[in-house]
Structure formats: C-alpha cells, structure tokens
Amino acid sequence: MRIENMLEEYASRLEEALPGYLPRCPAPESRVGEAMAYSLLGGGKRVRGALTLAFYRLYKEDLSPALPYAGALEMIHAYSLIHDDLPCMDDDDLRRGKPSCHIAFGEAVALLAGDGLLTLAFETMCDPAHADAFPAATVLEAVRQAAWAAGCSGMIGGQMIDLAGEGSAGTTAALLDRMYAKKTGALIVAAARLGCILGGASKQDMDAASDYARYLGLAFQIVDDLLDAAGDEAVLGKPVGSDAANGKSTYVRMYGEDAARREVDKLNLRARQALEKLEGDTRFLAGLADLLAARQH
C-alpha cells in the first residue's frame, strides 16, 4: 500500500472518530462546541494522530482502542493553532484555507474553544469508555506524556521562545533548536510514544520511537519554514511570508534555503536509522518521513 494511502486511511479513521469525542452541550454552551468542531474537524494532515496509530499498529492489529488517544493529540494540536492565530499571538486570519477560529467565531469564543480542546484531550483520554481498554497505569502514562508535551517543557515553552524572539535578531542556533524541539517536536514525540505506551512497547522500542519522532519533528518544522519562505499560498491554505514579515527567527532565515533543505535530508536519514532498531514493519513510518519532507502544504 502506498504511503499516501495509508496516511489517508489513518486520517480518515480519525476523522470518523473525532466528532464522537466532542461535547454535546445544549445552547448557548453549544456555541463553544461548534467552534471546537470547526477547528478540530475536516482538515489537517493528522500527522500526530497517524503517528500514534502507526506505532500502535507495530504491536496490535485493531486500531480502535488507540483512536481516542490519537484524537486527543489532534485536539491538543488544534487548540495550539487556535491560540496561536489569536490577534495577541500571530494574528493570522487564515488557517487550513478557511477563516481562523477567531475570525469565524470572535476572539472570546475562540479563546474558550482552545481552552476547551486542551481540556477535552484530557477528558477523552480519561473517559472510562476509552480508558477501560487499558490498565490504569498505562492510561496514566499516556496522559503524563501528553501533558508534558503540551506544557512548559514542550509546546508552551516553545511558544514562549518564539514570542521572546519575535522582532529580535539575537536568537542563537541553540535557542532555535530548542524552540523547534519544544514547539513542534514535543507533541510529535509524544504522539510516537503514546502509540508505544498503549501498544505495550519495550523501553528500547520507546527510545527508538522517540528518536525517530524527534528527527521527524525537526524536519517537519524546517519544511514548514521552507514553505512559509517559498510556498504557494493557494496550496498552503494560509498566508506565506508571515515569518519574514513578523521578523521571526527561522532555520531558513538563519542558514538559507539550501542548507535548510540539506538539513531536512539529513534528519530524514537519521529518522530512518532510528527505525532500524524497531522489530516490526516500519515501512509506513520510513515513507512518512519522505512524504513530509517533500510536502507542498
């Protein structure tokens, strides 16, 4: 099966499952549910969710028990996009080719929708309807990993570095690496780990999966920068050139496009090498690295 098709299969399993995790509130609370659905459903590559499912599949045949956990990571990702797009952050009006959440629903509802999706990730992971499929200690470890990735050691820390560096030329290479590792890398690493944890992987497999995801995540962010610097707005579904316009430090701006492209290839190779330490069929995971490196959006 082609990698694109497998990624689409994972994405469509998630797309089917996600609406079932959304809250069913009466009006007027339903408005925040609508905003959550607007930002969570019908879009995105579902890379994080797919990683959880693909690693889980190394150990188990039936994907169903892992879906709520893959979905929870997509919720955390969607929350981060809503809050990033707010006027006080990146002030982006367009996301995945449609108006950002705060453009569609107003700032206050968008703020709550982000808060709601972050919280819903934890509600979904702990829901007995999902959690009872695993030992409590396993679920707790999954929740722990997700919280770590979302927190100050992860995404929030990365956002803060981003924010602090905006408009300043003083970002060092080490700080840029740390920003990428936290802002994008942490949740991608957590996605791989969740699949391993739920699947019952060995410590050695967990470590190899984490290495793979770390390289993949870094490459993913550099490709994002390349697309922002030279991508096609119509294909990308969001404005290009916003990093330069905001004076943001990026890998492309620090090293140039050629070096950035070479770094992606190097990281891609390292990701593949990490996979070799795993026992199962890792062809999808290897192909995913190629696919994400070559993506145009």
Residues that bind a second copy (CB under 8 A): 23, 25, 28-29, 31-33, 36, 83, 86, 88-89, 106-109, 111-112, 114-116, 118-120, 122-123, 126-128, 131, 135-137, 139-140, 143-144, 146-148, 150-153, 156-157, 159-161, 163-165, 175, 182
Between 54 and 113, CB nearer to a second copy: 113
Least distance to a second copy, CB of residue 161, Å: 6
Residue number, 41 or 156, with CB nearest to a second copy: 156
> In whole angstroms, how close is the CB of 287 to a second copy at the nearest point?
33
Least CB distance from residue 178 to a second copy, whole Å?
8
Closest contact distance (angstroms) between CB of 217 and a second copy is: 18
- Find out whether 184 and 48 touch, Cβ atoms under 8 Å: no
Least distance (Å) between residue 281 CB and a second copy:
31
CB of 184 or CB of 282, closer to a second copy: 184
Q: How far is the CB of 197 from a second copy (least distance, A)?
A: 12
Nearer to a second copy, 3 or 140 (CB): 140
Nearer to a second copy, 148 or 255 (CB): 148
Q: Give the DSSP letter string of the chain.
A: --HHHHHHHHHHHHHHHHHHHS--PPTTTHHHHHHHHHHHSS-S--HHHHHHHHHHHTT-S--GGGHHHHHHHHHHHHHHHHHHHSTTTT---EETTEE-HHHHH-HHHHHHHHHHHHHHHHHHHH-HHHHTTS-HHHHHHHHHHHHHHHSTTTHHHHHHHHHHHTT-S---HHHHHHHHIIIIIHHHHHHHHHHHHHHT--HHHHHHHHHHHHHHHHHHHHHHHHHHHH--HHHHTS-SSHHHHTT---HHHHH-HHHHHHHHHHHHHHHHHHHTT--S--HHHHHHHHHHHT---
Smallest gap from residue 32 Cβ to a second copy (A): 4
Nearer to a second copy, 88 or 234 (CB): 88
Cβ closest to a second copy, residue 33 vs residue 199: 33
Contacts 24+ apart (CB under 8 A), 175-178: 176/249, 176/250, 176/251, 176/254, 177/218
